[in-house]
Amino acid sequence: MTSDEANRLAITRFRNYQAGGRAVTITVPNAAGGLVIKGSIDYRGKLAYGVVHGAGRDTSSDGLIEWTAATVLVHPMANTPAEAPASPPGSDWVSRPLQTSGSALDTSLAIALGLGSDRPDNAQLLPQNGATWIGQDQMGGHPVDVMTGPSANGKPGTADTVRYWIGSDGTMYRVQVKVASEPQPVVIDFDTQTYVPVLPVPGVTPPR
């Protein structure tokens, strides 16, 4: 890994924080077909909101979702729209703690929320902790470098556990993470639609 590559990897989570928020599509693996979450993450407010659709499975999990690092709010819907309404509905939300283990969905939510940081990582330490350059790719018309790097919480990751697709200015376009409970990785794609500012569920102030 060159010093330029290490520097771009070091600032990529900070870039998300600088942007304030990013539009994302999160693909969660599951033996029954998985889930796809399309929405927005506010990296300064540490709050995310979107719509959930089953992928190749029944629609029992379909609906709206809002989450923090500690809490998941779910709003089941019979006819779930393609994109979440800009303002969350004012009722019929079910709240639960975010599980720290054993749930591919909750692990994916926590990883996605953790991809923003109010300061860059240490570029000199990244290669020492196993960060490597894998190759080049294209994402949405942007040339990117593919690298392994730190986990979403900034701690060192093992090689091939977390992969980042990063543009020439350090912008994050994709993150792929292997989770312990699933053979397929979680995939988080950025800029898949227009970013919509995240509003909290009316009347609910979830713990962070």
In a domain, 197, yes or no: no
Q: What is the CATH number of the domain that holds 89?
A: 2.50.20
In a domain, 10, yes or no: yes
Phi, psi values for residue 93, rounded to 5°: -95, 145
Our count of domains for the chain comes to 1
Measured distance CA(178)–CA(187) in Å, rounded: 9
In a domain, 199, yes or no: no
How much is the pLDDT for 154?
Answer: 47
Kindly give the parts of the chain with pLDDT less than 70.
Answer: 56-59, 152-160, 204-208
How much is the pLDDT for 159?
Answer: 44
CB of 63 closer than 8 Å to CB of 31: no
> What is the residue range of 91's domain?
3-190
Task: List the structure tokens of 185.
Answer: 């990785």
Phi, psi values for residue 113, rounded to 5°: -70, -25
In a domain, 36, yes or no: yes
In a domain, 21, yes or no: yes
In a domain, 206, yes or no: no
Q: Is the pTM of this model over 0.85?
A: yes
Q: What is the pLDDT of residues 5-23, one digit of tens each?
A: 999 999 999 999 999 999 9
In a domain, 176, yes or no: yes
In a domain, 123, yes or no: yes
Distance from chain centroid for Cα 90: 25
For the chain, the residue count is: 208
